[in-house]
């Protein structure tokens, strides 16, 4: 995780990923971002603010299973 810094008046956000990429870079080379990520989570930034996290399909499925299990309790 790495914190992102913001201009005065904006709060600092924690990036819940080992890698971050701008939305512009993702648009320019999505295949390259996916290749470099090697299955790890990538934070997608817009103006240095996290707008999304890209996760591997297996990680997403595991999260959905955990949510479903928690809902059944």
Which contacts qualify for 40-44: CB closer than 8 Å, 24 or more apart?
A: 41/16, 41/17, 42/17, 43/15, 43/16, 43/17, 43/19, 44/20
Phi, psi of 44 (to 5 degrees): -100, 120
Q: How far apart are CA 70 and CA 49, in angstroms?
A: 30
Per-residue pLDDT of the chain (73 residues; tens, 9 = 90+): 455 554 555 667 888 898 999 999 999 999 999 999 999 999 999 999 999 999 999 999 999 999 999 999 9
Pick from 52, 53, 45: which is nearest to 5 by CA?
Answer: 45
Pick from 54, 63, 17: which is nearest to 32 by CA?
Answer: 54
Domain 2-72 coded CATH 3.40.1620: yes
Domain-wise residue ranges, the chain: 2-72
């Amino acid at each position: 995780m790495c914190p992102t810094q913001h201009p005065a008046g904006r709060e600092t956000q924690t990036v819940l990923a080992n890698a971050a990429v701008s939305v512009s870079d993702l648009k320019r080379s999505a295949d390259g971002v996916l290749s470099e990520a090697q299955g790890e989570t990538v934070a997608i930034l817009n103006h240095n603010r996290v707008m999304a996290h890209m996760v591997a399909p297996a990680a997403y499925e595991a999260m959905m299973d955990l949510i479903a299990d928690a809902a059944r309790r």
